[in-house]
Amino acid sequence: MATLEINNLHARVAEEGGERILRGVDLTVNSGEIHALMGPNGSGKSTTAKVIAGHPAYEVTEGEILLHLDDEDVADVDVDLDDEDYHWELLELEPNERAALGIFLGFQYPAEIEGVTMTNFLRQALNAKADEREELFEDEDEDEESAEADADDEGYDTSPMEGPADDGEIGVAEFQEILSEKMELLDMDEKFMQRYLNAGFSGGEKKQNEVLQAAMLEPAVAVLDEIDSGLDIDRLQDVSKGINALRDEQGTGILQITHYQRILDYVEPDHVHVMLDGEVAKSGGAELAEQLEDEGYDWVREEAFADA
Amino acid sequence: MSSQDHLKDTNTEERFEFKKEEKSAFKSEKGLTEETVRVISEDKDEPEWMLERRLRALKQFQEMPMPTDWPGQPDLSEVDIDEIVPYIRPDIEARGGADSWEDLPEEIQDTFDKLGIPEAEKNALSGVGAQYESEIVYQNMQERWEEKGVIFCDMDKAVQEHEEIVKEHFMTKCVPPSDNKFAALHGAIWSGGSFVYVPENTTVDMPVQAYFRMNSEGMGQFEHTLIIAEEGSEVHYIEGCSAPKYSAFNLHSGGVEVFVGEDAHVQYSTVQNWSKNTYNLNTKRAIAEKGGRMEWISGSMGSKATMLYPSTILKGRGASDNHITIAMAGEGQDIDTGAKVYHNAPDTKSTVESKSIAKDGGRTNYRGLVHIADGAENSSTAVECDALMFDNESTSDTMPYMEINESKVDVAHEATVGKIGDEDIFYLQSRGLDDDDAKQMIVSGFIEPITEELPIEYAVELNRLVELEMEGSLG
């Protein structure tokens, strides 16, 4: 089981005099759990999501983000976890390294990349993730001596005319098989795969695509930033089915950022958190979301101030 | 293994960045005088008329000023002809090129092996010419084409063996030396290159390729390519070029003349990967007769500065032209390239698609001209140029000139200039791609609309080069 643990996270916009946005966020998401992160506009929900993924526009001034992993999470790589608490400090890692370890960010406004087909993109992403994992865990394992030995051993395994040896990329057939399975699950048309990544996609298609990517990359924890915005009811149901499947089929932990109770009717959260002014002001069960829907956020604010 | 696989598996960097010790049979003095021209012509045992043409071109070169007044043109102040070695004849026995790779000296054989030329020849080409320094060292074509009357030979050999046709077409009506200063220079000291002749109604179904390699420091390469495609014929010519990098500058000033006969179809593809100390100043032009079709495909990755504007004169009714241009400029590079099309007859059609990428302070410029003559009714042209910049240090300009002297025409023009988006990069990174791979993916997507139209063997090579440039491991 993997655990994303955020402790006392402070962050500001990474420019001179940049606004302080996060003021001590504490949050823990275990794989297999569904968390809803709610709160009014400007409370820091999206910033939390971006900081977890490593967005360069934000600078972390205090706190830590840890990803705890166990044997199951690293079964694909050759690493021995004798450490009782095996974890990575995400703040020290590049966004792609975080992705390789199992962090996924579903964007509120996914980028449109012209000229790159979905198929090419997904294959490359899967291969990049596999390569990066090997590298991360290799470095972890390797002592200095063997690093030196490697340095002496530079050059080609094969003749330069033949290029570098095949590094075990995912085969086309295997890829297609995984893809078809995931697309069926999400009720997506195969034609999707020949289109350019998000280019000209409707709002709903983009969100479906975010969930598809999460399904393909099988992250330990997926942070979904307003995945429900701009969806009609049919699409909302498809997307919700996909999110539930992420949890049920591959044990992904979900941190779902939303303004509305609506999606929570389909994706029932185990935990609900309310952010106010850059902190998690209140946490509770599914019933908390219903209460917020009825009563708004003012009472949470009052309660939080009373506590303080 | 198919040729595409072969190209894909070849380590591109290894293939271009190696130097061979200079071994030559004859090397001219540095600089350019009448004496130099006479010596070159004599060494080649040329007919008198060719010497005369060379000397006339030399005079024109000396009279013409260096181009300095084009808006935003690359800086050519370093280009001092007196510092250039214009002619180096490599040490080979057979003039006109050996027809077997084994007959070449080892270092030359090894050079082209590394560039993957013999392998490509076996798999996907009708014929191959390979030039080393100033001379073609290898030339071969499949017999079945020879039997049909197709000629593919060394340009110097063509002067001797196909004298009449060369005399008629060589720098007379297509690219006269008076065209520009570097065309004049070329006319004076040209050496090597290819002569291609395709008889009527003959379709050469696999491409012919010429590869030009400069090995020596401070040399100039001035090969001449003359292609004559008779009525109803079809041919695809590919040229590749590269050189290892030296501290002194090199000069490449090629000349290309293409005659597209009635209803003939010529495709001319270039992958230019000169080292980043090379000035690449070429003149390329085609004349298309009635119903003829000319296609220029150009990938410009290398060189310190390039000024190249392949042009097509649509002379006959219904002739058409298609330009595809990809330019990429990194640190210290100024790639000034584009297209010129002259619509001189009714019902002529042209399309220009240009994609340029500037990074690490490099500069790209699209400079183009579409001229539609009075009376060229029902002609149409569509020009589309897109530029992508990586950072604020890089620049990209677009100068599409149009001269439209006829009212019954259809003219379309589109241009975009964009900067690679940080959010786009972050999106791809969040999916596991590292910074370089993310940028590379965005670039390959940017040029995708063009690469999907390219012949496969060309597209594979081009993609490899783009990848290599993106890795920033060259130069």
**Residue A308 confidence class, pLDDT cut points 50, 70, 90:** low
- Contact between B116 and B128 under an 8 Å Cβ cutoff? The reply is no
- Contact between B248 and B217 under an 8 Å Cβ cutoff? The reply is yes
Per the domain annotation, does A279 fall within a domain?
yes
CB nearest A115 (choices: B8, B433, B446): B446
How many structural domains does chain B have? Answer: 1
Per the domain annotation, does A296 fall within a domain?
yes
**Residue B213 confidence class, pLDDT cut points 50, 70, 90:** confident
Please give the biggest Cα pair distance in chain B: 68
What is the percent of chain A where pLDDT is above 90? Answer: 64
- Contact residues, chain A, for B449 at CB < 8 Å: 115
Per the domain annotation, does A162 fall within a domain?
no
Residues of A with CB under 8 A from a CB of B: 53-57, 94-96, 98-100, 104-105, 107, 110-111, 113-116, 121, 124-126, 128-129, 132, 160-164, 196-197, 213, 217
The values of phi and psi at residue A177, to 5°, are -65, -50
Per the domain annotation, does A211 fall within a domain?
yes
For the ranges A99-108, B81-90, B171-180, the lowest mean pLDDT is seen at B81-90
Please name the residues in contact with A85: beta carbons below 8 A apart, sequence gap of 6 or more: A68
**Tokens of residue A225, six digits:** 């930033």
Which of B468, B339, B350, B464 lies closest to B398, judged by CA? B339
B179 alpha carbon, distance to own chain's centre: 17
Nearest Cα residue in chain B from A122:
B431
User: Is the pLDDT assigned to residue B74 strictly greater than 80?
Assistant: yes
**Tokens of residue A221, six digits:** 């924890």
Which pLDDT does position B2 carry in this prediction?
40
CB nearest B449 (choices: A54, A57, A115): A115
Which pLDDT does position A260 carry in this prediction?
85
Check A116 against B435: CB less than 8 A apart. Answer: no
Look up the domain containing A92 and give its range: 3-141+170-307
For the ranges A150-164, A189-203, B123-137, B318-332, the lowest mean pLDDT is seen at A150-164
Which of A76, A106, A74, A78 lies closest to A87, judged by CA? A74
Which pLDDT does position A108 carry in this prediction?
94
User: Is the pLDDT assigned to residue A160 strictly greater than 80?
Assistant: no
Nearest 5°: the CA angle A301, A307, A308 is 90
CB nearest B446 (choices: A55, A114, A217): A114
Please name the residues in contact with A32: beta carbons below 8 A apart, sequence gap of 6 or more: A1, A247, A251, A252, A253
For the ranges B18-27, B76-85, B164-173, the lowest mean pLDDT is seen at B18-27
Which pLDDT does position B112 carry in this prediction?
84
- Contact residues, chain A, for B9 at CB < 8 Å: 161-163
Check B429 against A95: CB less than 8 A apart. Answer: yes
Number of H helices, E strands in chain A: 9, 10
How many structural domains does chain A have? Answer: 1
CB nearest A115 (choices: B433, B435, B448): B448
Which pLDDT does position B4 carry in this prediction?
42
- Contact residues, chain B, for A58 at CB < 8 Å: none
For the ranges A69-83, A117-131, A274-288, the lowest mean pLDDT is seen at A69-83
User: Is the pLDDT assigned to residue A29 strictly greater than 60?
Assistant: yes
Nearest 5°: the CA angle A257, A259, A260 is 110
Which of B263, B255, B328, B265 lies closest to B296, judged by CA? B265
Quote the CA–CA distance of B323 and B339 in Å, as a whole number.
7
Q: How far is CA B349 from CA B322, B337, B352, in A?
A: 8, 21, 10
Output DSSP code: residue A266.
Answer: T
B22 alpha carbon, distance to own chain's centre: 25
**Average pLDDT in the B330-348 region?**
96
Q: What is the ipTM of this complex?
A: 0.91
For the ranges A91-100, A138-147, B328-337, the lowest mean pLDDT is seen at A138-147
Which pLDDT does position B164 carry in this prediction?
96
The values of phi and psi at residue A107, to 5°, are -80, 145
Check B114 against A110: CB less than 8 A apart. Answer: no
| Residue A16, burial from CB neighbour count under 10 angstroms (0-12, 13-18, 19+) | exposed
- Per-residue pLDDT of A67-103, as tens digits, reads 999 888 888 887 777 767 889 999 999 999 999 999 9
Look up the domain containing B118 and give its range: 3-471
CB atoms within 10 A of CB A131: 17
| H helices present in chain A, as ranges | 45-53, 95-101, 118-141, 144-152, 172-185, 203-217, 233-250, 286-295, 298-307
User: Is the pLDDT assigned to residue B92 strictly greater than 50?
Assistant: yes
What is the percent of chain B where pLDDT is above 90? Answer: 58
**Residue B14 confidence class, pLDDT cut points 50, 70, 90:** low
Task: Provide the shortest C-alpha distance from residue B336 to chain A (in Å).
Answer: 25
- Average pLDDT over chain A reads 87
Q: How far is CA A303 from CA A42, A267, A285, B138, in A?
A: 19, 27, 17, 87
For the ranges A117-126, B57-66, B135-144, B280-289, the lowest mean pLDDT is seen at B135-144
**Domain at A302, CATH number:** 3.40.50.300
Nearest Cα residue in chain B from A100:
B432
Q: B244-275 burial string, b = 16+ CB within 10 Å, else e?
A: bbbeebbbbbbbbbbbbbbbbbbbbbbbbbbb
User: Is the pLDDT assigned to residue B307 strictly greater than 80?
Assistant: yes
Q: Looking up tokens 């030039």, which residue turns up?
A: B131
**First-to-final CA distance of chain B:** 31
Output DSSP code: residue A265.
Answer: G
Which pLDDT does position B107 carry in this prediction?
83
Mutation choice for A interface testing from B9, B431, B434, B454 by most A CBs within 10 A:
B431
Please give the biggest Cα pair distance in chain A: 72
Q: Does B418 touch chain A (CB under 8 A)?
A: no
User: Is the pLDDT assigned to residue B79 strictly greater than 70?
Assistant: yes
Quote the CA–CA distance of A199 and A140 in Å, as a whole number.
38
CB nearest B432 (choices: A55, A96, A196): A96
Is the Cα dihedral A172, A175, A180, A183 positive or negative? negative
Please name the residues in contact with A204: beta carbons below 8 A apart, sequence gap of 6 or more: A230, A231, A232, A235, A239
Quote the CA–CA distance of A202 and A206 in Å, as a whole number.
6
**First-to-final CA distance of chain A:** 35
Task: Provide the shortest C-alpha distance from residue A243 to chain B (in Å).
Answer: 17
Task: Provide the shortest C-alpha distance from residue B449 to chain A (in Å).
Answer: 7
User: Is the pLDDT assigned to residue A146 strictly greater than 80?
Assistant: no
- Per-residue pLDDT of B228-255, as tens digits, reads 999 999 999 988 877 777 777 889 999 9
Task: Provide the shortest C-alpha distance from residue B421 to chain A (in Å).
Answer: 9
Task: Provide the shortest C-alpha distance from residue B113 to chain A (in Å).
Answer: 9
The edge-to-edge listing of strands for the beta sheet with A221-225 is A103-106, A221-225, A253-257, A34-38, A271-276, A279-284
**Tokens of residue B58, six digits:** 């030399």
Please name the residues in contact with B18: beta carbons below 8 A apart, sequence gap of 6 or more: B111, B114, B244
**Residue B449 confidence class, pLDDT cut points 50, 70, 90:** confident
CB nearest B432 (choices: A107, A113, A125): A125
- Contact residues, chain A, for B444 at CB < 8 Å: 115-116
Q: Does B437 touch chain A (CB under 8 A)?
A: yes
Which pLDDT does position B471 carry in this prediction?
65
Task: Provide the shortest C-alpha distance from residue A164 to chain B (in Å).
Answer: 8
- Contact residues, chain A, for B8 at CB < 8 Å: 163
CB nearest B424 (choices: A113, A125, A126): A113
- Contact residues, chain B, for A220 at CB < 8 Å: none
Quote the CA–CA distance of A292 and B185 in Å, as a whole number.
81
- Contact between B210 and B196 under an 8 Å Cβ cutoff? The reply is no
- Contact residues, chain A, for B454 at CB < 8 Å: none
**Average pLDDT in the B171-193 region?**
95
DSSP string, B51-105: HHHHHHHHHHHHHSPPP--STTPPP-TT--GGG-B--EEES-SSTT-BSSGGGS-
Check A116 against B445: CB less than 8 A apart. Answer: yes
Task: Provide the shortest C-alpha distance from residue A264 to chain B (in Å).
Answer: 25
How long, in residues, is chain A?
Answer: 308
Q: A145-166 burial string, b = 16+ CB within 10 Å, else e?
A: eeeeeeeeeeeeeeeebebeee
Which pLDDT does position B7 carry in this prediction?
41
- Contact residues, chain A, for B427 at CB < 8 Å: 107, 110-111, 113
More confident residue, B173 or B89: B173
**Average pLDDT in the B110-137 region?**
83
Q: A206-239 burial string, b = 16+ CB within 10 Å, else e?
A: bbbbbbbbbbbbbbbbbbbbbbbeebeeebbebb
Mutation choice for B interface testing from A50, A114, A123, A133 by most B CBs within 10 A:
A114
What CA dihedral angle connects B388, B391, B395 and B396, to 10 degrees? Answer: 10
Quote the CA–CA distance of A110 and A66 in Å, as a whole number.
25
Quote the CA–CA distance of A264 and A239 in Å, as a whole number.
12
Q: How far is CA B352 from CA B273, B341, B383, in A?
A: 22, 9, 5
Per the domain annotation, does A150 fall within a domain?
no
Check A115 against B430: CB less than 8 A apart. Answer: no
Mutation choice for B interface testing from A46, A107, A113, A135 by most B CBs within 10 A:
A113
**Tokens of residue B421, six digits:** 């988006």
Nearest Cα residue in chain B from A218:
B431
More confident residue, B370 or B113: B370
Which pLDDT does position A123 carry in this prediction?
93
The values of phi and psi at residue B105, to 5°, are -55, 150
Report the SS3 class of residue B466: helix
Quote the CA–CA distance of A99 and A128 in Å, as a whole number.
10
- Per-residue pLDDT of B219-235, as tens digits, reads 889 999 999 999 999 99
Per the domain annotation, does A161 fall within a domain?
no
**Average pLDDT in the A110-136 region?**
93
Per the domain annotation, does A160 fall within a domain?
no
The β-bridge partners of B313 are: B287, B342
How long, in residues, is chain B?
Answer: 475
Which pLDDT does position A273 carry in this prediction?
97
